[in-house]
């Protein structure tokens, strides 16, 4: 961290704040990232980079003005821009800063395990994945990506807050495409905290196996089906829940969970938590983007809706304590964690008996409406009969309502995996007892 330059910038802005009789908060973020992508065994993209940014918030009479910059030049201009922005803000909402007086969890910061890895080792992961993906002559093309990143965050304000944390890790992604009447793609994604968590061969093999297994995919008859949502798919769909549990959305009548605290909103085997730290996550944090301490809490416990997620403003409005979930201009969990059940993935397949295993949904950003909970998504997967995968399924859409779906969760698996999206997401696969699938007549 460029401590000296940041401190100078901060001191100048804090002095200006004092002179102008306003409060100010500066968030400093610095990240470094490395990424390499191979297509069909050739290097296609390679990025090794870093950047920093300072977000300046000025608070005056409960109103906020914001400005950011990527240069230490001219702190005064940045400060004045933020002040000017206050002049057009006319919401009746009152904003606050946090003074940093609370107890912060002592979390283990990222040890930079990937930082010291020689470049040839990082490229080695991708080459291994590529070789593994190609171990079947039906594979037409493949792609493999390796990346690692390190993110440092520091927040300081004129009320006395000054906190910092660093987290990071690595990831791998592979895609293999198998030849068929139309090409079949299989993918695999892994997140890791340490280099030994990343296994290039495994990622390549899983992508290959999935694409090969999809050869001969067909649609299915339209109707209602029992399904497994594989952990990666379930993680995607939980984006809808993240929007619904935001107190801000509830206060603005944009959440269907408004007024449902304490109610049974999901199946009684469904428990969702927000965790400040999980060993598999690469986005842990002892404080949120307002500097408020993060804490572990149940959001849904045995199907009962326990709490919305709050930032300082929404908490004040509802007369509750902030939950440490401010995320920029919005609200988000630190690590959304779905409590696992006892059944392995294979046991889930047996429990499904006859149904469809969904391995991909597309179009979450457009085909899912978190205000109503309705979704209709392109999907693919496998047909399961007597607990065994019998063939690939293509050209179907799954549709329903997320709130109904939470009630229809019949089994929760033990196969926890970590993903990134809106913060961290650590989830298992689930069985949903009934969902609409559109396919052939």
Partner 1 sequence: MLDKFSKGVAERILGTVLKYGGDFAELFVEDRYSTNISLKNGKVETAQTGRMFGVGIRGFLGDKAIYAYTNDLSEENMLTVARRVGEALGEVKLGDLSLDLRKKELNNRHIIVFNPKDVQKETKVGYMKRAYEAARNYSPVIAQVVVNYWDYDQNVLIANTEGVYVTDERVRTRLMINAVAMKDGQMESGFYGPGAAMGPEFLERMDLEQAGVRAARIAVRMVDAQPAPAGRMTVVISNEFGGVIFHEAVGHALEASSVARGMSVFAGKLGQQVGAECVSAVDDATIPNAWGSANVDDEGTPTQRNLLIEKGVLKGYMIDKLGSRRMNMPPTGSGRRQDYTYAPTSRMSNTFILPGDYHPEEVIASVDYGLYAKTMGGGSVNPATGEFNFAVNEGYLIENGKVTRPVKGATLIGKGYEIVQKIEMVGNDVARGQGMCGSYSGSIPADVGEPTIKVREILVGGRNQ
Sort 345 into a burial class: Cβ within 10 Å, 0-12 / 13-18 / 19+: middle
- Rounded to a whole number of angstroms, the minimum distance from the CB of residue 441 to partner 1 is 6
Pick between residue 12 and residue 69 the one whose CB is nearest to partner 1.
Answer: 69
Give whichever of 81 and 410 is closer to partner 1, judged by the CB atom: 81
Name the residue among 382, 373, 377, 306 with its Cα closest to residue 339.
Answer: 306
Do 186 and 149 form a contact (C-beta atoms < 8 A)?
Answer: no
- Least CB distance from residue 396 to partner 1, whole Å? 8
Residues for the chain: how many in total? 441
Nearest distance from residue 395's CB to partner 1, in Å? Answer: 6
Q: Of 53 and 321, which CB lies nearer to partner 1 in the complex structure?
A: 53
CB of 18 to partner 1, least distance (A): 22
Q: What are phi and psi of 303, to 5 degrees?
A: 90, -10
What tokens does 127 get?
Answer: 């080459």
Minimum CB separation of residue 397 from partner 1 in Å reads: 2
Q: What phi and psi, each to the nearest 5 degrees, are found at residue 31? A: -135, 155
> Smallest Cα–Cα separation from 155: which of 247, 53, 59, 82?
53
Nearest to partner 1 of 139, 426 (CB atom): 139
Distance CA 403, CA 266 (A): 7
Q: Choose between 295 and 398: whose C-beta lies nearer to partner 1.
A: 398
CB of 287 to partner 1, least distance (A): 21
Closest CB to partner 1 among residues 358, 398: 398
Q: How many CB atoms lie within 10 A of CB 350?
A: 13
If the CB atoms of residues 172 and 295 are measured against partner 1, the closer one turns out to be: 172
Cα(212)–Cα(215) distance, integer angstroms: 5
Residue 414: half-sphere exposure toward Cβ, Cα within 13 Å: 6
Q: Can you tell me the distance from the alpha carbon of 345 to that of 429, in angstroms, rounded to the nearest whole number? A: 7
Instruction: Please give the angle made by the CA atoms of 66, 70 and 71, to the nearest 5 degrees.
Output: 115
CB of 130 to partner 1, least distance (A): 12
User: Which is closer to partner 1, CB of 91 or CB of 116?
Assistant: 91
One DSSP character per residue, 47-80 reads EEEEEEEEEEEEEETTEEEEEEESSSS-HHHHHH
Residue 296 or 395 having the CB closest to partner 1: 395
Q: In whole angstroms, how close is the CB of 108 to partner 1 at the nearest point? A: 28
Least Cβ distance, residue 184 to partner 1 (angstroms):
7
The DSSP symbol for 196 reads G
DSSP secondary structure, 196-253, as one string:
GG--HHHHHHHHHHHHHHTTT-B--BSEEEEEEE-HHHHHHHHHHHHHHTBHHHHHTT
């Amino acid at each position: 961290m460029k401590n000296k330059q940041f401190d100078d910038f901060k001191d100048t802005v804090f002095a200006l704040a004092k002179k102008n009789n306003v409060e100010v908060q500066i968030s400093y973020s610095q990240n470094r990232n490395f990424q390499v992508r191979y297509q069909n065994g050739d290097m296609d993209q390679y990025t090794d980079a870093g950047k920093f940014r300072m977000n300046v918030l000025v608070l005056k009479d409960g109103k906020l003005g914001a400005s950011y910059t990527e240069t230490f030049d001219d702190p005064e201009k940045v400060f004045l821009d933020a002040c000017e922005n206050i002049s057009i803000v006319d919401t009746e909402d009152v904003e606050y800063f946090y003074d940093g007086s609370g107890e912060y969890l002592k979390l283990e910061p990222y040890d930079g395990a990937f930082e010291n890895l020689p470049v040839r080792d990082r490229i080695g992961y991708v080459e291994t994945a590529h070789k593994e993906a190609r171990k079947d002559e039906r594979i037409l093309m493949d792609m493999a990506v390796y990346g690692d990143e390190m993110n440092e965050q520091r927040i300081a304000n004129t009320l006395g807050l000054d906190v910092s944390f660093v987290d990071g890790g690595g990831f791998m992604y592979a895609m293999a495409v198998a030849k068929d009447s139309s090409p079949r793609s299989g993918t695999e994604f892994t997140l890791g905290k340490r280099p030994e968590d990343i296994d290039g061969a495994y990622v390549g093999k899983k992508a290959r196996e999935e694409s090969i297994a999809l050869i001969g995919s067909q649609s299915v008859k339209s109707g209602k089906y029992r399904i497994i949502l594989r952990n990666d798919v379930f993680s995607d769909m939980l984006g809808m829940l993240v929007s619904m549990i935001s107190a801000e959305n509830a206060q603005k009548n944009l959440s269907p969970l408004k007024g449902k605290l304490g109610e049974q909103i999901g199946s009684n085997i469904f428990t969702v938590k927000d965790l400040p730290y999980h060993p598999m996550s690469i986005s842990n944090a002892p404080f949120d983007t307002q500097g408020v301490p993060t804490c572990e809490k149940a959001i849904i416990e045995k199907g009962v809706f326990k709490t919305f997620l709050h930032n300082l403003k929404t908490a004040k409005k509802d007369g509750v304590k902030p939950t440490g979930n401010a995320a920029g201009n919005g609200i988000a969990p630190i690590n959304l964690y779905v409590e696992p059940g006892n059944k392995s993935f294979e046991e889930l397949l047996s429990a499904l008996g006859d149904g469809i295993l969904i391995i991909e949904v597309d179009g979450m950003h457009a085909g899912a409406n978190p205000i109503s909970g309705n979704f209709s998504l392109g999907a693919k997967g496998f047909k399961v009969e007597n607990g065994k995968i019998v063939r690939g399924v293509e050209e179907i859409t799954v549709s329903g309502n997320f709130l109904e779906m939470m009630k229809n969760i019949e089994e929760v698996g033990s196969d926890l995996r970590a993903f990134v999206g809106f913060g961290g997401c650590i989830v298992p696969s689930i069985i949903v007892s009934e969902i609409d699938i559109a396919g052939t007549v």
